[in-house]
Amino acid sequence: MNYRIGEVLLTEEKISRRVREMALEIAETYKGQDLMVIGILKGAVIFMSDLVRSVSPDVRISMDFMAVSSYGDSTKTSGIVRIVKDLDCSVKDKNVLIVEDIVDTGLTLSYLVKLMQEREPKSVRVCALLDKEERRQVPVKVDFRGFSIPDRFVVGYGLDYSGQWRNLPSIYLVEQEN
C-alpha cells in the first residue's frame, strides 16, 4: 500500500506559536527548579528542540532520550512497546518531563510513565505535541498538550511514515494512493 502527503493539518506558524505557549506553561510549573526533559526518539526531536529553547532560563534543563517502538513500518500501533534505547542517566529524585510527538492509544505512554515512576523520580509529567484522544485504549494524563487532532495518520515536524517526511515544517494528513 502506498501513501502520499495530503492537506496541511497544522501550519508551521500555528505549531511555533503553540510550542512557545507550552514553553511558558512549563516554565511557570518548574520555575526555579531543575528539570530533566526526556525526548522519545525519533519523532519528538524537532518538537523537543524547539520547546526547550523556548523555556526561560529560570528552569535548569537537562536532556536525555529514549527510543521505543510500537509502530514498525505500519500506520497503526502494534500495542507492543519495545525499548530500543534507554536513558543514559538516572531520574531518581528528579523532576521528569516526558516529551512525546503524539499520543494515540496511550499504550506506549502509559508504559513509559510507569517505567519512569519505578525509577523513583521526584515527579513525572507528560508533554505531547499531538493528542488523538478518541483512540485512547488506556487512560494517560497529558499535562502539557499542543493540539488535539482527529484519528488520522499525520507526518511532518518530526512525525514520519516509514522514516519519511519528518523534515516537513508543517503537519500533514497522510492519504492512501489509489
Domain at 28, CATH number: 3.40.50.2020
Q: Provide mean pLDDT across the span 139-153.
A: 96
Domain of residue 124, residue span = 12-149
Residue 110 lies in a domain: yes
Written as one letter, the residue type at 167 is: N
Number of domains in the chain: 1
Structure confidence at residue 79 (pLDDT): 63
Residue 92 lies in a domain: yes
Q: Containing H/E element for 22?
A: helix 12-29
pLDDT grade for 103, boundaries at 50, 70 and 90: very high
Does the annotation mark 104 as catalytic? Answer: yes
Task: Give the whole-angstrom CA distance, residue 35 versus residue 178.
Answer: 47
pLDDT grade for 133, boundaries at 50, 70 and 90: very high
Written as one letter, the residue type at 50 is: D
Q: Provide mean pLDDT across the span 151-171.
A: 95
Q: Are 20 and 54 in contact (CB under 8 A)?
A: yes
Nearest to 103 by CA among 64, 78, 140: 140
Q: Is 116 helix (H, G, I), strand (E, B) or coil?
A: helix
Residue 172 lies in a domain: no
Residue 155 lies in a domain: no
Residue 175 lies in a domain: no
Residue 157 lies in a domain: no
pTM: 0.92
| pLDDT above 90: percentage of residues in the chain | 85
Active-site residue identified among 104, 131, 143, 151: 104
